[in-house]
Amino acid sequence: MEVYLTFIAKQNIEKLPRSDQKRITEKIEFYATQPDPLEFAEPLSGVDKYWLRVGVYRIRFEVLNNLIWVITVKRRDEAYR
């Protein structure tokens, strides 16, 4: 699957330290290359969106037309507000 980042997701990632940016982008790319990337994801209740955990960060995304759209990347303490 191909991965697309929303404008907000790009901004979220750019604000992080370089080491975290690299780890998050590598993990997203790894998930996208898997036969079923949703196997690693948790569904968000009430919507057709999912989240992935990468250390203390949560990646919210959705799958549309066989594309992964990353919506936001936030620290765990900010992601659940």
pTM reported for the whole predicted model: 0.86
Residue ranges of domains in the chain, CATH in brackets: 2-79 (3.30.2310.20)
Residue predicted with more confidence, 77 or 22? 22
Identify residue 66 by its one-letter amino acid code.
Answer: N
Question: What's the pLDDT tens digit per position in 41-76?
Answer: 888 877 778 999 999 999 999 988 889 999 999 998
In sequence order, the 6+-apart residues with CB closer than 8 A to the CB of 69 are 4, 6, 61, 62, 63
pLDDT given for residue 51 in this prediction: 92
Number of H helices, E strands in the chain: 3, 5
Q: Where are the alpha helices (DSSP H) in the chain?
A: 7-14, 18-33, 76-79
